Chain A
Amino acid sequence: MKLKFVLFVGLRYFKAKRKSSGLASSLLSMIGVGVGVMVLTAVLGVMNGFQLGFIESILEISSYHLQITAGQGVKEERFAELENLRAIQSVVSFTESQAIAEGKYVRQRGCRVRGLPVDILKRDPGFRNSLEITAGVFDLSPANSIVIGVELARHLGLAVGEEIVLTALAGDSLGKLAPIKESFTISALFRSGYYEYDLGLAFVSNATAANYFWPEKEPPLTLGIKLENRFQLKEAEEKIAAALREAPGSGYRLVAWRDYNRAFFSALRMEKIIMMLLIGLIFIVVGFNIYHTLKRTVRERYEEIALLKAIGAPGSTIQYIFILDGFLIGCLGAGVGMAMGLLITGNINEIFAIVETLINLLFGVMEVLFATLSAPGMGEFSIFSPAYFYLIEVPSKVLLPEALLILLLGLLSATMAAFFASQRVAEIKPAQILQYE
């Protein structure tokens, strides 16, 4: 390829469109790429916000990055070295059981009761940051102290300082299972942003859990491990194995976060892929638009292409001139689209607020104009109404690899369309075109 020549002619052709009839179709092509990139960036940004919110809540509050389940009789001290490993952020021993919670009224609710060290907030900053304490103080040290989710408290009609009654089955399923019932004092209410947890999770101290659920024997030892980087699972597993001087699986069982949430995370990933594919269809439409625009440009320049061939420009080099055209359309469209997409994603709540204000304003005007027709008791319009959505604000997060992928998609759709549109260049015969008779 003769790069200087391609750039010289290609850039001039691109610039010349400003004066020609090709401007409108080129602009449309750019807008098409831009809209595709913008929509995909914004939709995936908001989707990431929701999904990462779920994932972070699950990992930080409930499932940890790695869980070690030890055999019967193994002491926590066996794993003391783990806290010194550089890859590990925190190690926490916990227990988990099921119980039926009752409040002052007749309503009941099943919940998971998690036993945690009393200094959990100090030991696990991720856990501390993921919980918003809406009432009371997170303190598990008093005997029978319990922290429950705000939705569970609302469901049972309970507040801080009141008693919650838990009913569970104690004993051994091989022997005799007996129901046990115990009252706990609510020391705090938490909100995680994940409805399932706010409605179905309660925290007590490890000692309280042991006394209540395993009154006659030692509870099973489970450790929750948080890593500095949760994506470096393999390295962490190797380091843990080396630190414990045993191959993984012997004496303890190590399970990674992707395994025990596989179904949920797979569903989230599938949701995102399907969304990308659906919105990505816009690039096919845009690609066709660019294909036809550039095919017309090639047809309009048959004589010039024939002349360039006659004076010694290779067909492939001339084809690059038109591919450059598509590439520039893609660059400009995708660049502006990405900027717009990032702007929308970063200000999604403000944009929703403006839209809501405008719609409510419109409703207000309509209500005044058609007072007799308006339905009484119509509430204010809200895109994500708290009445239906468990949201305080719409979360968003743009991931760099995804942003680059979207940019690449926009660029590729335009460049590939230009490549196919310029295939005719190779077929142009100067001897047939440059005839004047």
Chain B
Amino acid sequence: MNIIEVVSLSKTFRTGTEEVEVLQGLNLTLEEGESTVITGESGSGKTTLLNLIGGLDMATSGNIIFAGSDIVGKSEAELTRYRSSSLGFIFQFHYLLKDFTALENVMLPALIEGLSLKEAGNKAEGLLDRVGLLKRKTHYPVELSGGERQRIAVARSLMNDPGLILADEPTGNLDEKNSDQVKKILFDLVCEYKKTMLLVTHDKTLAARGDYHFCLEHGRLKRK
């Protein structure tokens, strides 16, 4: 079953009088429970595609159908709701809140959704356990290594049981050892929780782990 269908998606950036068409009528379908990896050169539009699917940016034209509903043209409030309830984000940088412990950082999406502190805390502890950081739940980001921070970001992305996980170079900022650890945890959890994932990366070993692998070239996707 399709969870997301991208139809003829275009995105043009304007810089002064110059127009750059980053995405040109791109089509993509993501099946439920499958991982799709997109690779491409820097500036090819990988992150732009994730931002458009994640409702963080506005498409110039085309449609993004999520669970039967087009998110293009939705209001900011509707997009916020969509991000909160249906998406999990993992960025290249962890973007953990520095004044919150590991546990509290994982709890945040659930608190936005309106869960009680206790409910959110229990759920976050479970996820921290799965990423192997339960013992470090009271630690602040500054007290954790880069790999640990990114594992917490992975746990945070799963907190609201999202239909789709969008990962933007999740290991791009890590050394090889930590990168391998994060890769393993990410794919294991996606598989365990039967999540749909769209991941963009430069990392060929990471690309090889996906169910589907596309390359983004000249604004269009090519199957690898």
Q: Which residues of A contact B87 (CB under 8 A)?
A: 312
Q: Which residues of B contact A309 (CB under 8 A)?
A: 80
Q: Which of A306, A311, A429 contacts B84 (CB 8 A)?
A: A311
B111:A2 contact, CB within 8 angstroms: yes
Q: Which of B51, B77, B81, B111 contacts A8 (CB 8 A)?
A: B111
Q: Which residues of B contact A4 (CB under 8 A)?
A: 111, 114, 116-117
A437:B42 contact, CB within 8 angstroms: yes
Q: Assuming the A-B contacts A2-B111, A4-B111, A5-B112, are A312 and B84 also in contact, with contact meaning beta carbons closer than 8 angstroms in the complex?
A: yes
A437:B83 contact, CB within 8 angstroms: no
A311:B83 contact, CB within 8 angstroms: yes
A436:B173 contact, CB within 8 angstroms: yes
Q: Which of A303, A312, A435 has the most CB of B within 10 A?
A: A312
Q: Which residues of A contact B43 (CB under 8 A)?
A: 437
Total residue contacts A-B, CB cutoff 8 A: 82
Q: Assuming the A-B contacts A311-B83, A311-B89, A435-B47, are A13 and B77 also in contact, with contact meaning beta carbons closer than 8 angstroms in the complex?
A: no
Q: Assuming the A-B contacts A12-B99, A310-B83, A437-B42, are A315 and B89 also in contact, with contact meaning beta carbons closer than 8 angstroms in the complex?
A: no
Cα-based distance from A315 to B83 in the complex (angstroms): 13
Q: Which residues 402-427 of A sit at the B interface, judged by CB distance below 8 A?
A: none
Q: Which residues 1-19 of A sit at the B interface, judged by CB distance below 8 A?
A: 2, 4-5, 8-9, 12-13, 15-16
Q: Which residues of B contact A2 (CB under 8 A)?
A: 111-112, 114
Q: Assuming the A-B contacts A303-B95, A436-B91, are A310 and B54 also in contact, with contact meaning beta carbons closer than 8 angstroms in the complex?
A: yes
Mark B33-57 against chain A: 1 for CB-CB distance below 8 A, else 0: 0000000001100010001001011
Q: Which of B47, B108, B168, B173 contacts A311 (CB 8 A)?
A: B108
Q: Which residues of B contact A303 (CB under 8 A)?
A: 95
A313:B80 contact, CB within 8 angstroms: yes
B5 within 8 A of A: no
B93:A311 contact, CB within 8 angstroms: no
A434:B111 contact, CB within 8 angstroms: no
Q: Which of B56, B84, B99, B116 contacts A430 (CB 8 A)?
A: B56
Cα-based distance from A12 to B103 in the complex (angstroms): 14
Q: How many residues of B contact A (CB 8 A)?
A: 39
Nearest B residue to A12, CB-CB? B99
Q: Which residues of A contact B160 (CB under 8 A)?
A: 312
Nearest B residue to A8, CB-CB? B111
A256 within 8 A of B: no
Nearest B residue to A303, CB-CB? B95
Nearest B residue to A17, CB-CB? B99
Q: Which of A312, A315, A431 contacts B112 (CB 8 A)?
A: A312
Mark B162-175 against chain A: 1 for CB-CB distance below 8 A, else 0: 00000011001100
Cα-based distance from A13 to B98 in the complex (angstroms): 10
B99:A312 contact, CB within 8 angstroms: no
Cα-based distance from A33 to B104 in the complex (angstroms): 32
**Smallest CB separation, A78 vs chain B (Å):** 73
B109:A311 contact, CB within 8 angstroms: yes
Q: Which residues of B contact A307 (CB under 8 A)?
A: 95, 97
B95:A312 contact, CB within 8 angstroms: no
Q: Which residues of B contact A304 (CB under 8 A)?
A: 95, 97-98
A308 within 8 A of B: yes
Chain B residues at the A interface, C-beta cutoff of 8 Å: 42-43, 47, 51, 54, 56-57, 76-77, 80-81, 83-85, 87, 89, 91-93, 95, 97-100, 104, 108-109, 111-114, 116-117, 156, 160, 168-169, 172-173
| New A-B pairs, 16, CB < 8 Å, besides A4-B114, A312-B87 | A2-B112, A5-B108, A9-B97, A16-B99, A304-B95, A304-B97, A311-B109, A312-B80, A312-B83, A429-B56, A430-B56, A431-B56, A434-B56, A434-B93, A435-B47, A436-B173
In the complex, 7 of the A-B residue pairs with CB atoms within 8 angstroms, ordered by the A residue number, are A2-B111, A8-B104, A312-B109, A312-B160, A431-B56, A435-B47, A436-B169
